[in-house]
Amino acid sequence: MKTTSSKFELKMGAATREAYGQALVELGRANPNVVALDADLAKSTYSAKFGKEFPDRFFTIGIAEANMVGMAGGLALSGKIPFASSFAVFLMDKGYDQLRMSVAYPHVNAKFVGSHGGISIGEDGPSQMAVEDIALACGLAGFVVLIPSDEFCARALVHRMAEWSGPCYMRTGRPKAPILYTAEDKFEIGKAKQHGDGRDVALIACGLEVGYALQAQAQLEDAGISARVLDMHTVKPLDDEAVARAARECGAIVTAEEHLLDGGLGSQVAKSVAASHPAPMEFVGIQNTYAESGTPDQLMEKYGLTAPHIVSAVKRVLKRK
């Protein structure tokens, strides 16, 4: 991510997948019922850190994501708190039937973490890019769906997942993420983090797009436009109260996500806005296509996900306010 925008600068930190691995070890030390599973990608998902410290509580399933999901469901029914991880595209696409029937339907206490979400994984190309995982996860009844924006958010949300009774899915990313928070910041499932009290437009974003939204906020301020940013780290259950307040106080909303526009954050926010306080909206996301291979910066720019594209969306939505 290019980190400078107007007078606003972001410092890069660890990837959210790294923070997941660190938090998983912390959970393992605190709770002997926490176990971990991985589908042959433990070094990439960073669950290998847990396996190194707790080899008797770590299960490498191989390239068999559906089996891993079923095993996680069984472990949950046995009283364990399983965290199962793989690349998001493999976990959700290959394990979906088992997620539905072995986890969602019986509503078991299993946790799933899909790494390498979105197109910012870069050169690995479209076969490795999860661009529909959030829509799929939101379609599972009873699931909590999380997209942390930085390392501190990710670490905190892993702990919140362990405390939550029921199935959860969290998307993590491959590249380093900008530092937005500190270890002292508190996070709660279903409660957005607000940056600023702007009254002209609300920018509602998740994951890496929160950093771009903050860059856009600074650019808009230079242009005399007052924006607030909502870090919607929980896509389901959505913070409907924060969304309604943003719609009422700002009168215009732009969502930003590293995901296909069909079924992702924008869809969830639009449903909430329609039910509470209808307002004009614009949507920044991947436009009904798959990406290609390239550097993360090249891809985020080409597919319209960077700060200038958010600024353009704000200018469009303000014309309809």
Which are the catalytic amino acids? 65
Tokens found for residue 106 = 């019986």
How far is CA 31 from each of CA 19, 65, 103, 166, rounded to the nearest angstrom?
18, 25, 22, 17
Reduce the DSSP state of residue 294 to 3 states and report it: coil
Reduce the DSSP state of residue 52 to 3 states and report it: helix
Kindly state the DSSP code that residue 22 receives in the 8-state scheme: H
Q: Shortest CA distance to 3 belongs to which of 318, 304, 297, 319? A: 297
Burial of 139 from C-beta contacts in 10 A (0-12 / 13-18 / 19+)? middle
Evaluate the omega torsion of the peptide bond into residue 296 and state whether it is cis, within 30 degrees of 0. Answer: no
How far is CA 319 from each of CA 24, 218, 229, 251, 285, rounded to the nearest angstrom?
46, 20, 19, 11, 20
Residues 6+ apart with CB under 8 A from 319: none
Query: H/E/C letters for each residue in 204-217?
Result: EECCCHHHHHHHHH
275-299 residues labelled b (16+ CB within 10 A) or e (exposed): ebbebbbbbbbbeeeebebbebeeb
Tell me how many degrees the CA angle 149-229-247 measures, rounded to the nearest 5: 130
